[in-house]
Amino acid sequence: MMTIPSTLDPDSLRSAGMQYVRSSRRFIDEATPSELATVLLSSLSLIAAFIGFLLVSSWTVVPFAVFLIATGYGWAKHQGLMARALTLSMTISTLVILGLIIVFIFLRAWPALQYGSAEVFGLNVPGLRMFIQTRWNAAADPIRYSMLPMIHGTVMVTIIATLVAGPLGVAAALFLSEIAPGVVRETVKPAVEILAGIPSIVYGFIGFTVLSPWASDQFDLVGQGTYLFVGIVVGLMALPTVVSVAEDALTSIPESMKSGSLALGTTDWQTMTSITLPAAFSGVSAAVLLGVGRAIGETMAATVMLRNNPTIPDPIFNVFYGYETLTSLVAANYGEATGIQMNALFVAGVILFITVLFISIGSQLIEARMEQKLGGVE
Amino acid sequence: MASDQSTGSDIVSRRKFLVASGAVGAAGVAGCTSQSDGDGTDETAGSGSTDTSMLNAEGSSTVYPISNTGSAYWNSNSPPDDGEYWGSSGESTVPGWSDLGEPDMNIADYFASLYGFEPTEERSNPPFPTSIGLSHSGTGCKAVRDGKVDIGNSSGPITAELGISESEAQEEYVDHVVGRDGQPVVVSSDVYEAGVTQLTGDQIRQIYQDEITNWSEVGGPDQEIYAVGRAEGSGTDTSFRLNMLGGADAAMPGVDTRKGQNQQVATVIEQNEGAIGYMALAFTSDAVQPIAIDFEGTVYEPDRDAENTIFDSDYPLNRDLHMYTKITEDTPDGTDMREAAFLNMFLTTFGQKLFVEDVNYIPLPTSDIQSEKDKLPEQTA
């Protein structure tokens, strides 16, 4: 956890800044000119290579070669310093790459947002029409790229998957950490973790060839593809993650807390519900949120099992007909889409990006809050 | 990639050729559109007066499997005792071998000799090498127009790709059709067995536009129709709308599911009752039956021997796959000897089976093969 509150304070910010200036001045005083020159050359050539890359210049290779040579030389001569410079530049690169991806998907989404703009109180809001109408049709007039059918599909699949993975996962984690004998835990836990490694297309394939036709027969549906079974399959896929993370959280509760509770005469079950689970709540909720994250981002299983025909079912909570999710929209259409349709796929990407961003911020906040309340660390 | 072919040596060594074809293959994979040696002027293996420079083609990814498979076979120049790629061995014989008269020559040697080229009698060393680039129909047509390549592959007519008139196209280019890409309409076996073996074009339109929703309305069982379509905006989707529904932007409210691949369409139709869809012929089976279609009185049947078949170019869901050559001062017929030798290979039972049918396209009916052959210059041997 980062110590966010303390750095937000202007005084401590200023003192941290001054400390940084002082330490960097000391660093420049102490470093030899050769060290400084090497690090400087290495960093500048990396920046030049990055600029060359952005300009799609064929000369990019020159600064990049200089960077490699300077870094190699620095590594041989001044390893400690070079390692510091390298790790810093790698961290910066990661952030820059992420930044570029974000800028790229927003830029590519923009034409579709412009196309889907709508007036509100005389104000032209880009993209608004994509969220107030429900029509998606890329070929027939009027051509519309509403995101609502996909958002609806993603919400449906996520809710069903959470209903499957949440209770099952937490119960299994509780059993493994609190009830099961050691031998069972030692064998089942790794087995569950191996399950998490099964590629999603395998689940999708089983869903497409076995579950979907079966559901279509049993519920007398026209054709195959239901949100119910996609949700169940995605929930099963998320299950190992939930079990594994929740089990870690539950095991990390100190034995002393449980012993104290038991010493007061509670039963095992009472200890679990009143001590272990609340104390591990942050970890357990993080486990469920991770599972939800997987459900939202799950692509292959949803793409092969759904109907890939963006529509909102009637009635809206009809889980027996499954049309499209945000991810399956992109996966099913990226090969064929052109023009605004392609940009509309990027809009789906932007929505996913923002959703996942909020989920991860949310889980961080829950974790921070729980740490404060129960962690005992001030 | 040109450096390997423009060394000026009299005979391209086998290793050099392999390097060159490797580079060409890599360029094809990378979607390389530029052909630096495309003007066909560089000499590689000069043998007398015949031009034996590399034959270049490029264009449509739809035609690519046909022309690239052909090119790979050509460049291998397999001997007639190979059995797998050419000729006959104790274990196997290539299809159409007897129709060719079982020539005792390597594959490229044989087809090239028909147009007066000297055989090399060496495996992997054809009389002249061929190279196929992968790009788009429009790029291929432009490349052949500008003389960058010898053959332009296109899945659409050159008139549409270059925006030229029909008469202009006929004056400047020769259209060689090597195969067809088609989409038979298929139904699931339960519907087929219940007697729906033929529909009219209008009924199919009504099904996809949600005007007919039950099979009983077209003489089938009392079963709701499950209409399967292709990915929105794909070439297949657009041509289906254009040819079946009356316009590229016709509405398709009757579609229940859209799938991106033939295999997926086949599986979905196989797994569900009352399903209808359209997909490439190669994926049909007993569980996924192609049906006959009645277009304005003409019944196109899924039977090769019928009067009108779903393999004909008139069948509205078929499109011709073209290899265009350009008419120049040197070649008033539009097709020079190298082009003719290579193209002729596709217009045989052997070529149609291996390069068209085996890569999931529709082979040409016999009459069309003859009319295509008539476009080529006279064979000299």
Interface check for A38 against chain B (CB to CB < 8 A): the answer is no
Rounded CA Rg of chain A: 27
Distance from CA of A52 to the nearest CA of B (A): 22
Q: Is the ipTM of this complex over 0.85?
A: no
Distance from CA of B23 to the nearest CA of A (A): 21
Distance from CA of B239 to the nearest CA of A (A): 12
Answer whether CATH 3.40.50.460 is correct for domain A147-377.
no
Facing residue for A139 by CB, picked from B228, B241, B259: B241
A213 interaction partners in chain B (CB closer than 8 Å): 271-272
CB contact under 8 A, A223 and B272: yes
What would the two tokens of residue A141 be? 């007039």
DSSP state for residue A198 in the 8-state scheme: S
CB contact under 8 A, A308 and B257: yes
Q: Which residues of chain B fall below pLDDT 50?
A: 1-48
Question: Where in chain A is CATH 1.10.3720.10?
Answer: 147-377
Task: Using CB atoms within 10 Å of the CB of residue A190, give its burial: 0 to 12 exposed, 13 to 18 middle, 19+ buried.
Answer: exposed
Which chain A residue has the Cα nearest residue B267? A209
CB contact under 8 A, B260 and A304: no
Amino acid at the residue A277: L
Distances (CA, A) of B66 to B35, B321, B379: 19, 9, 23
- Answer whether A341's CB lies under 8 Å from B249's CB: no
Q: Which of A195, A282, A292, A210 is nearest to A246 (CA)?
A: A282
Which chain A residue has the Cα nearest residue B214? A222
Interface check for A337 against chain B (CB to CB < 8 A): the answer is yes
DSSP state for residue B177 in the 8-state scheme: E
CB contact under 8 A, A222 and B260: no
Task: Dump pLDDT digits (tens) for A205-252.
Answer: 999 999 999 998 888 888 888 999 999 999 999 999 899 889 988 988
CB contact under 8 A, B226 and A222: yes
Query: For position B35, what pLDDT does the model report?
Result: 40
Whether A8 shows a pLDDT value over 70: the answer reads no
Instruction: Quote the longest CA-to-CA distance of chain A.
Output: 80
* Distance separating the N- and C-terminal Cα atoms of chain B: 34
A341 interaction partners in chain B (CB closer than 8 Å): 232-233
| Interface residue of B212, B215, B241, B257 to substitute, partner A, most A CBs within 10 Å | B257
What would the two tokens of residue B373 be? 């052959």
pTM (2 d.p.):
0.72
Which chain A residue has the Cα nearest residue B263? A304
What would the two tokens of residue B200 be? 């009219």
Query: For position B351, what pLDDT does the model report?
Result: 93
Query: For position A291, what pLDDT does the model report?
Result: 85
Share of chain A above pLDDT 70, in %: 96
Classified as helix, coil or strand, B297 is coil
Who contacts B224 (Cβ-Cβ below 8 Å, separation ≥6)?
A: A222, B213, B214, B215, B274
Write down the mean pLDDT value for chain A.
86
Task: Dump pLDDT digits (tens) for A155-185.
Answer: 999 999 999 999 999 999 999 998 888 899 8
| Interface residue of B214, B268, B276 to substitute, partner A, most A CBs within 10 Å | B268
The whole-number average pLDDT for the span A314-318 is 87
CB environment B34-51: b (16+ within 10 A), e (fewer): ebebbebeeebbeeeebb
Query: For position B43, what pLDDT does the model report?
Result: 40
